[in-house]
Amino acid sequence: MATNVYMEALSPTMEEGRVVKWHKKDGDPVKTGETLAEIETDKAVMDLVARADGVLRQVAAPEGQTIPVGSVVAVIAAPGEAAGETPTSAAQTKPSGSGKRDTGNVATAPAPVAVATPPAVAPADATRVKASPLARRMAKEAGVDLKLVTGSGPGGRVVKKDVERAPNQAAPAAAAAPAAPLSPVSRVPLPERTGTAYEDVPLTQIRKTIAKRLVTSLGPIPHFFLTTEVDMERAAEAREALNKQLGDQGEGKVSFNDLIIKATALALARHRACNAWFQEDHIRYWNEVHIGMAVAVEDGLITPVIRHADRKSLTEIGREARELADKARNRRLQPNEYTGATFSISNLGMFDIDQFTAVINPPEAGIIAIGSIVQKAVVVDGHLAPGRRMRITMSCDHRVIDGATGAAFLRTLKQMLENPLAMLL
C-alpha cells in the first residue's frame, strides 16, 4: 500500500515550508526514519523523514519551491507496486478549512500526523558530508571540498566557521561567479546588481514570520519604554576575575551577555509581575524564568531560550548560550529550543549601539534592549573620573506592566549589575 509524503508541520507556527534539498530521488529505496528532504521552516532548516518503508515515487515539489503544510510532496510505494497517477501539484494543494488534507490521486494511504518535533532520524548515507545549508552554499561558492573539512558543529557537522577556515580550493570557473554581496550588519545575501532600477527578492520563511509577528506586536500591544544607565565597573572587574580563574581551568569564558542574562533572570524571579504573558482573557504569571536571547541569523532574527536561567551558573549559561547561538545561525534549532520564553533580551552593544528600543515578542510582557558599554567621564564623589556605563531600555506591555512595576524591576537589575555580589543573595 502506498503512503503519501506530506509537507509536515515541523514547528508549532509553521504554515508552509520551502524544499531546500531532496536527499532521496524518485526511485530510491527508503526506510522509516530516513531523511527524505531538508525543509526550511519559519524558524530553522529541519528534516522531512520517511514514515514508511518502500520506494520514493512521484516527487512533486522541486527544490526551492514553497509548499503549504498538508500538501502531498511525494509517495512511498512498496517495492514493485504502482503508486497510481501523479499526485496533484504540491504548489496547488492547500489544506482545507476543515483541517482535512488532500490525499491526491494516489493509492490509499494512512492519514498523516502533523508533529511539532520530528522523531529520531536514522543515519543518512554515510558518504554524504554532514553540513549546514549555509556551509554547503559557502563551500560551493568558494570551491571548497566539504569532504576535506573537519566539522566543529554538533555531531561533527560542518558549519560556517569551518568553511571560512578551510583553504580556498576555488576553480577558475568558480572564481568567475562571485558570491552574492552581504549587507555589512545583518549579513543578508543581496542580489547582484543587474543594471535595472531595483531587484525583487522573495521573502524567506523566517522573514515572513518576522513580518507577521511584528504586526501582532507593535500595533496591538500598547508599548511604553523605560531607560536606565548602569555603572558596569564592578561587573567588568568581576568578569575579568572570573575569566582569569576559568582560564586556568580550561573552561569557556564568561561574557557580559552571560552576566546580563543571569542578572535579568534573578531580577525576574523577584519581580514576577514582569515575568508574565498576556493572554486574551487572563495574565499568566510564571514561576519559572526562561530567557529568550535575540540572535541575528543570515536573514532575520530568532530567540533561542535558556530555560531556568535563574537556577544556572554563569558558566552553564555561557556554554548553553554559545551552543544555542551556533545552532540558530546554522538553522538547526529544534522547536523546544526557541519557544516558551517568559522574557527576552536583545543586545546590540557589539554593534556600537548606545541605546535602542526593542519590540515585545508576544505573548511576553517585556523585553530589554542592551546598548554598548561606553567609557565616559562620570562624576564620582564630586570629581570627574573615567567610568564604564551601559544603557538598558525596557519595553513594557502596559496591559500587564505599569510604570512603577517596570521601574522596580529595572532598579533591581541595575543593582545586581552594579554589585555582582548581590546575585549571591
pLDDT digits (tens, 9 = 90+) for 218-273: 778 899 999 999 999 999 999 999 999 888 666 678 999 999 999 999 999 999 99
Residues 386 and 257 in one domain: yes
Do residues 155 and 281 both lie within one domain?
Answer: no
In-domain check, residue 338: yes
pLDDT-wise least confident of 195-199, 244-248, 251-255, 393-397: 195-199
* Residue 202 covered by a domain: no
**Confidence at residue 155, expressed as pLDDT on a 0 to 100 scale:** 64
Same structural domain for residues 229 and 153? no
**Could you list the residue range(s) of the whole structural domain that residue 160 is in?**
133-175
Distance CA 261, CA 343 (A): 10
Classify each residue of 360-377 as buried b or exposed e, where b means 16 or more C-beta atoms within 10 Å of its C-beta. Answer: bbebbbbbbbbbbbbeee
The residue to which cell 542578572 is assigned: 263
Contact 48, 5 (CB under 8 A): yes
Give the containing element (helix H, strand E) for 29: strand 29-30
Among the residue ranges 12-26, 375-389, 390-404, the one predicted with the least confidence is 12-26
Instruction: Record the cell numbers describing residue 166, joined without a space.
Output: 578551510
Tell me the mean pLDDT in the region 284-310: 92
CB 369 within 8 A of CB 358: yes
Let me know the angle formed at the C-alpha of 202 by 215 and 294, rounded to the nearest 5 degrees.
50
pLDDT at position 360: 94
Predicted local confidence at residue 89, as pLDDT = 45
Least confident of 44-53, 318-327, 334-343, 385-394: 44-53
List C-alpha distances in Å: 128 to 54, 136, 171.
Answer: 21, 12, 22
Total residue length of the chain: 425
Q: Are residues 159 and 219 in the same domain?
A: no
Based on the fold, state whether residues 301 and 417 are members of the same structural domain: yes
Percent over 70 (pLDDT), the chain: 79
The mean per-residue pLDDT over the stretch 153-160 comes to 70
* Furthest-apart CA atoms within the chain: distance in Å: 89
Say if residue 138 is in the same domain as residue 215. Answer: no
Give 309 or 127, the one with higher predicted confidence: 309
Q: What is the DSSP letter of 133?
A: H
Assess whether 396 and 292 both reside in one domain: yes
Out of 80-94, 96-110, 137-151, pick the least confident: 96-110
Using pLDDT thresholds of 50, 70 and 90, give the confidence band for residue 130: confident
pLDDT at position 264 = 97
178: confidence class by pLDDT, cuts 50, 70, 90: very low
Count of structural domains within the chain: 3
Q: Check whether residue 170 and residue 217 sit in a common domain.
A: no
Q: What is the CATH number of the domain that holds 31?
A: 2.40.50.100
pLDDT band at 348 (very low <50, low <70, confident <90, very high): very high
Torsion of CA 133, 139, 145, 146, to 10 degrees: -30
Residues classed as catalytic: 398
Q: Please determine, for residue 18, whether its predicted confidence score (pLDDT) is greater than 60.
A: yes
C-alpha 367/C-alpha 283 separation (Å) is: 17
Q: Is the pTM of this model over 0.85?
A: no
Instruction: Provide the pLDDT for residue 239.
Output: 94
Look at residue 386 and tell me if it is in a domain.
yes
Cβ of 235: how many Cβ atoms within 10 Å? 22
Amino acid in position 176: A
Kindly tell me if the per-residue pLDDT of 158 is higher than 50. yes
Q: Predicted confidence band at 163 (pLDDT cuts at 50, 70, 90)? A: confident
Q: Is the pLDDT of residue 95 over 70?
A: no
285 plus 349 within the same structural domain? yes
Q: What is the pLDDT of residue 141?
A: 67
118, part of any domain:
no
Residues 6+ apart with CB under 8 A from 396: 223, 224, 225, 226, 274, 360, 365, 366, 403, 405, 406
For residue 102, tell me if it sits in a domain. Answer: no
- Alpha-carbon gap, residue 306 to 320, rounded angstroms: 7
**Burial classification of residue 19, based on how many CB atoms lie within 10 Å of its CB (0-12 exposed, 13-18 middle, 19 or more buried):** buried
Phi/psi of residue 245, nearest 5 degrees: -70, -40
Count other Cβ atoms within 10 Å, centred on residue 15: 16
pLDDT at 249: 66
Structural domain contains residue 60:
yes
Provide φ and ψ at 46, rounded to 5°. Answer: -130, 165
Residues 26 and 168 in one domain: no
Which position has the higher pLDDT, 45 or 341? 341
Q: How far is CA 381 from CA 105, 376, 378, 384, 385, in A?
A: 82, 16, 10, 8, 9
3-class DSSP state for residue 268? helix
Q: Is the pLDDT of residue 124 over 80?
A: no
Cα dihedral sign for 32, 37, 41, 45? Answer: positive
Q: Give whichever of 43-57, 70-84, 118-132, 135-149 has the largest mean pLDDT.
A: 43-57
Three cell numbers written together for 49: 523523514
What's the mean pLDDT in 359-369? 95
Do 145 and 69 fall within a single domain?
A: no
In the predicted model, what is the mean pLDDT of the chain? Answer: 80
Residue 34 in domain:
yes
Q: How large is the average pLDDT for residues 123-129?
A: 46
pLDDT at 93 over 50: no
Grid coordinates standing for 219? 500595533
How far is C-alpha 326 from the chain's CA centre? 9
Predicted pLDDT of residue 247: 80
pLDDT band for 337, please (50, 70, 90 cuts). Answer: very high
Q: Which of 324, 331, 353 is nearest to 185 (CA)?
A: 353
Exposure string (b/e) for 126-144, b if CB count within 10 Å is 16 or more? eeebbbbbbbbbbbebbeb
Domain presence at residue 167: yes
Q: What is the pLDDT of residues 98-117, one digit of tens each?
A: 333 343 333 333 333 333 33
